[in-house]
Amino acid sequence: MHEFTAEVEALAAEVLAYSLDRLKNDPPLDGPRTAEDLFNEVGNTITAKGLGGHDALEVFTSVLAKACISTDHPRNLAFIPSAPSEYANLFDLVVGASALYGGSWQEGAGAVFAENQALRWLSDLAGMPESAGGVFVQGGTIGNLSALVVARTEAKKKSPDATKWVIACSEEAHSSIVSAANVMDVEIMKVPVAADGKLMGSAVAAAIDALHTTTSKRVFVVVATSGTTNLGIIDDLEGIATAAHARDIWFHVDGAYGLAALCAPSVRKHFNGIEQADSFIVDPHKWLFAPYDACALIYREPELARAVHSQHASYLDTLKDGAWSPSDYAIQLTRRTRGLPFWFSLAAHGTDAYTEAMEHTLEIARAAAELVRAHPHLELVCEPELSIVAFIRKGWTASDYQKWSDQLLSDQIGFIPPSSHHGQPILRFAIVNPWTKVSDIKLIMDRL
Sites of contact with ligand PLP (CB under 6 A): 80, 139-141, 174, 176, 225, 229, 254, 256-257, 283, 295
* Nearest distance from C-beta of residue 142 to ligand PLP, angstroms: 7
CA distance linking residue 277 with residue 259, whole number of Å: 12
* Nearest distance from C-beta of residue 229 to ligand PLP, angstroms: 4
* Nearest distance from C-beta of residue 135 to ligand PLP, angstroms: 14
CA distance linking residue 223 with residue 277, whole number of Å: 10
Nearer to ligand PLP, 171 or 406 (CB): 171
Kindly give, in sequence order, each residue whose CB lies less than 8 Å from that of residue 255, ignoring residues fewer than 6 positions away: 225, 226, 227, 262, 271, 274, 280, 281, 282
* Nearest distance from C-beta of residue 428 to ligand PLP, angstroms: 12
Nearer to ligand PLP, 80 or 364 (CB): 80
Task: Report the interhelical angle of 140-158 vs 302-309 (nearest 10°).
Answer: 90
* Nearest distance from C-beta of residue 56 to ligand PLP, angstroms: 29
Nearer to ligand PLP, 148 or 243 (CB): 148
Nearer to ligand PLP, 104 or 229 (CB): 229
Q: How many helices (H) and strands (E) does the chain have?
A: 15, 11
> Burial, 277: exposed, middle or buried (Cβ in 10 Å; 0-12, 13-18, 19+)?
buried
∠ CA 55-58-60 to the nearest 5 degrees? 115
Beta-strand pair 295-299/133-137: antiparallel
CA distance linking residue 387 with residue 371, whole number of Å: 14
Q: 153-180 burial, b for 16+ CB within 10 Å, e for fewer?
A: bbbeeebeebeebbbbbbebbbebbeeb
* Nearest distance from C-beta of residue 375 to ligand PLP, angstroms: 27
Nearer to ligand PLP, 381 or 386 (CB): 386
What residues does 98 pair with on adjacent strands? Answer: none
* Nearest distance from C-beta of residue 102 to ligand PLP, angstroms: 17
Nearer to ligand PLP, 283 or 440 (CB): 283
* Nearest distance from C-beta of residue 392 to ligand PLP, angstroms: 22
Nearer to ligand PLP, 180 or 340 (CB): 180
HEC readout, 328-386 = HHCCCCCCCCCCHHHHHHHHHHCHHHHHHHHHHHHHHHHHHHHHHHHCCCEEECCCCCC
Alpha helix locations (H) across 60-104?
86-98
Nearer to ligand PLP, 80 or 207 (CB): 80
* Nearest distance from C-beta of residue 78 to ligand PLP, angstroms: 12
∠ CA 48-50-52 to the nearest 5 degrees? 165
CA distance linking residue 200 with residue 194, whole number of Å: 7
CA distance linking residue 343 with residue 330, whole number of Å: 20
* Nearest distance from C-beta of residue 330 to ligand PLP, angstroms: 13
Dihedral sign of CA atoms 443, 445, 446, 448 in order: positive
Q: 38-71 burial, b for 16+ CB within 10 Å, e for fewer?
A: eeeebeeeeeeeeeeeeeebebeeeeeeebebbb
> Burial, 425: exposed, middle or buried (Cβ in 10 Å; 0-12, 13-18, 19+)?
middle
Nearer to ligand PLP, 154 or 172 (CB): 172
Nearer to ligand PLP, 139 or 339 (CB): 139
* Nearest distance from C-beta of residue 359 to ligand PLP, angstroms: 20
CA distance linking residue 165 with residue 142, whole number of Å: 19
Nearer to ligand PLP, 287 or 391 (CB): 287
